[in-house]
Amino acid sequence: MDVVVIGAGLSGLTAAAVLHEAGASVQVLEADCRIGGRIRALRDPTSNRAVADLGPTWVWPKYQPVAARWLEKLGAATFEQFNEGDAVLVGFGPAPRRQPLSGQDGMVRIVGGPTALIDTLARRIGAANIRTSAPVTQVSDDGPKGIAVHLSSGEIITAQKVIISVPLRVAATTMHLPWAAPTLIETMRGMPTWMSSHAKAVALYDRPFWRDAGLSGRIASRIGPLTEVHDHTGADNTPAALFGFVGWSAEQRRLDPEGLKRAILDQLSDCFGKAAGHPLELKVEDWAMNPRIVTDLDTSQPAAHPDVGPASLRHPYLDGRVRFAVSEASERSPGLIEGALAIGERAALELLETNP
């Protein structure tokens, strides 16, 4: 095996696709039973079509050249975030009020959602080169044989080179990296995993009825349980959907998931009328319950967008044979889709330049 990529999120799959395209033999090892990492969709149970994003939604190709290039390379189209009409503002005065809220310049959605990128990358890499339910526990130098990648099953895979595409805090706390100096492990522990302590709620409807009332589908709320809500209707207007970020703490969510759902439905119906309280489906994806993504460090500290991390996260290790490639390690837009694409591509190209 030329290269093992650990983690099948966007960074790992981007790295694997670049390596595969360059003719390297690549094996992606993913701990979860599915690929995509923080990119996940609610899917139609019959067609398996992605109908709503449970992880990221937006890209800013106007300001993100790497994302713009990869969207084109992967044949992914974008469309405007719907924002016509009034938002509902709650908790900013004695009573809720309606007013337009401007959107962010350059912010767009991907047709089919970011999972379209994951699906296309996985097709290009080839199913046979991606293993799921394969958690890695250790990456160590095996001398002239190469790098030994230990799986939790006890299996050991030897590779010439390895890319670690796992959230840095997760890698620092769950993987044994005997070659990593304590200062490197400390740096990794200091890098928050963007959005890992958050939960996202998606409600599906048969039509976007809020638009008929001149509402944009946006809520900005200081009371919650959703702090902000956006229209999440598909590019072809199906399905009609709203999504929101949950303001309850991870602990509150864990203690009362059903109470959270009831509170979300009450909030939606207060803001958009009774019909909003009766969606076809309400799904809450709680990322703080996913130990492959989140650590106690993320839930015990206020959520912070990662700053650009130290250069040591982009250094080669073990004579250039091991590199990190996860969004938070990127010099460009760390924590974002742009960062994942940039670091995945960079790590693969730099690894290809290193002689075994």
Ligand X SMILES: Cc1cc2nc3c(=O)[nH]c(=O)nc-3n(C[C@H](O)[C@H](O)[C@H](O)COP(=O)(O)OP(=O)(O)OC[C@H]3O[C@@H](n4cnc5c(N)ncnc54)[C@H](O)[C@@H]3O)c2cc1C
340 is an interface residue for ligand X by CB under 6 A: yes
The DSSP secondary structure of 166-234, one letter per residue, reads S-HHHHHHHSB-TTS-HHHHHHHHTS--TTTT-EEEEEEESS-HHHHTTEEEEEEESS-SEEEEEE---
Spatial CA neighbour of 165 closest among 355, 13, 334? 13
Longest C-alpha distance within the chain, in Å? 71
Site string for ligand X, 194-213 (x = CB under 6 A): xx--x-x-------------
Q: Does 37 bind ligand X (CB under 6 A)?
A: yes
Stretch that binds ligand X, among 36-44, 250-258, 259-267, 270-278 (CB under 6 A): 36-44
- The distance in angstroms from the start CA to the end CA of the chain is 12
- Sketch the per residue contact string, 227 through 256, with ligand X: x for CB under 6 A, - otherwise: ------------------------------
Write the binding mask 162 to 191 for ligand X: x where contact by CB under 6 A, - elsewhere.
---xxx--x---xx----------------
CA distances in angstroms from 312 to 253, 315, 327, listed in the order given:
36, 5, 15
| Share in percent of the chain as helix, strand, coil (round to 5) | 30, 25, 45
**Contacting range for ligand X; rule: CB under 6 A; set: 8-16, 227-235, 260-268, 305-313:** 8-16
Q: Which is nearer to ligand X, 136 or 241 (CB)?
A: 136
* CB contact at 8 A, 204 and 51: yes
Which contacts of 257-264 are long-range, i.e. CB under 8 A and separated by 24 or more positions?
257/284, 257/286, 260/225, 260/284, 263/224, 263/225, 264/201, 264/203, 264/225, 264/226
Contact range with ligand X by CB under 6 A, out of 4-12, 224-232, 257-265, 298-306:
4-12
The count of residues interacting with ligand X (CB under 6 A) is 41
Interaction of residue 157 with ligand X, rule CB under 6 A: no
Q: Which one of residues 326, 341, 347, 348 is an interface residue with ligand X (CB under 6 A)? A: 326
Among 4, 5, 12, 244, binds ligand X (CB under 6 A): 12
6 binds ligand X (CB under 6 A): yes
Binding site residues, ligand X, CB under 6 A: 6-12, 29-32, 37-39, 55-59, 135-136, 165-167, 170, 174-175, 194-195, 198, 200, 287, 292-293, 326-327, 335-337, 339-340
